[in-house]
Amino acid sequence: MKIVILGAEARYRAYQPAMPFIQQQELVFLDKDSTEAEILAASADAEVLFVDAITVVSAALMEHMPCLRLIHSEGVAFDRIDLSAARERGIYVCNNKGCNAGAVAEQTVLLILMLLRHALEGDEAVRAGRQMEMKERCMVEGITELSACKVGLVGFGDIARAAAERLVPFGCELYYYTKRRRLPEEEKKYHVTYLPLEELAEKSDIVSLHCAVTEETRNLVDAALLRRMKPTAYLINTARGDLVDNEALRQALLEGRIAGAGLDTLSPEPVPAGHPLTALPPEVQRKVVLAPHLGGITEASFRRAHAHMWRNVEHLAAGERPDNIVNGL
């Protein structure tokens, strides 16, 4: 079986599970930014395509790969794959649902604590010899403990549930919003209370995004939703940058309509120089903690993800259905 891997060979080799099945396959490694022409020139006859979670896979590419049977995201996201085109051609699209839930939940807590404790500004102050100046100011203005916060989780899949499990011990009051309300037993298990999105935005001290990008959720955090948030509230995004209207968030930060933001993901990705949420005045920049989309890329997450991907290829080769099919086949 010919398998095209759009990603760094060193990474795939490092996390490759010990499966004799893999040694029997033909692996073709290409850069994740390869053009469609380059992919087709190297492997138009491939049966499997492994892609980075932010790689575009178009209907045109599928049309010119007649043997393609499986497209597998290396991560959880799959919104840049043309799902309907794959479904029409009988191509499975799969993801690694849940493989990085704990890792991303840790990143969520990290960003929250960095904002509440003014970590970036504090580091800067100590290095500049202004430790006591900042300490005195914080004692007057006050530092909010996480235990005193109401945290609203937007979406309630694997990552949001893992975040809830980590936030409960801090003593937070937890809300959640999702299109389909969960059963009372699940709400009780995770100590969460359901709220409509607008009410969650109004009540929460921290609004944390944990939903997939769809046409319905793209730019979910827009000017209207930001206006509902408290001026003392923070926005956390460890999901996808496309959930946030960049200009709306920029204006809310510039005008002091929210206290700050912790962002592990931005749109577009890769993030260009001069992005609206990176090119901020110094006094606003201190209120924003940025990370280079590191939330889910722990060693353990990659080992789980790669083991699952290769098991799915093995299922396919055996004439069985793969797991975590996301395009309705």
**pLDDT tens by residue, 204-222:** 999 999 999 989 999 999 9
- Token pair listed for 15: 């996390």
The Cα-based distances of 262 to 65, 112, 241 in angstroms read 40, 7, 12
Catalytic residue among 72, 210, 293, 306: 293
Could you confirm whether 293 is annotated as catalytic? yes
Strand stretches in the chain, DSSP E: 2-6, 26-30, 48-51, 70-73, 92-94, 150-154, 173-177, 192-194, 206-209, 234-237, 260-263, 288-290
Question: Catalytic pick from 69, 161, 240, 304?
Answer: 240
Tens digit of pLDDT at every position of the chain (329 positions): 999 999 999 999 999 999 999 999 999 999 988 999 999 999 999 999 999 988 999 999 999 999 999 999 999 889 899 999 999 999 999 999 999 999 999 999 999 999 999 999 999 999 999 999 999 999 999 999 999 999 999 999 999 999 999 999 999 999 999 999 999 999 999 999 999 999 999 999 999 999 999 899 999 999 999 999 999 999 999 999 999 999 999 999 999 999 999 999 999 999 999 999 999 999 999 999 999 999 999 999 999 999 999 999 999 999 999 999 999 99
Catalytic residue chosen out of the listed positions 124, 165, 269, 314: 269
Token pair 């929460």: residue: 204
The answer, yes or no, to whether the previous bond of 282 is cis (omega within 30 of 0) is no
Q: Helix-strand-coil percent breakdown of the chain, rounded to 5?
A: 40, 15, 40
Positive or negative, the CA dihedral 254, 257, 259, 260 is negative
**Taking phi first (over 0 means left), then psi (-120 to 50 degrees means alpha), and beta for anything else, what does residue 171 get?**
left
Tokens 């059963």, residue located:
183
Of 172, 310, 290, the C-alpha closest to 237 is: 290
Q: Judge whether 64 counts as a catalytic residue.
A: no
Does residue 72 have an active-site annotation? no
Q: Cα separation of 241 and 246, whole Å?
A: 8
pTM: 0.89
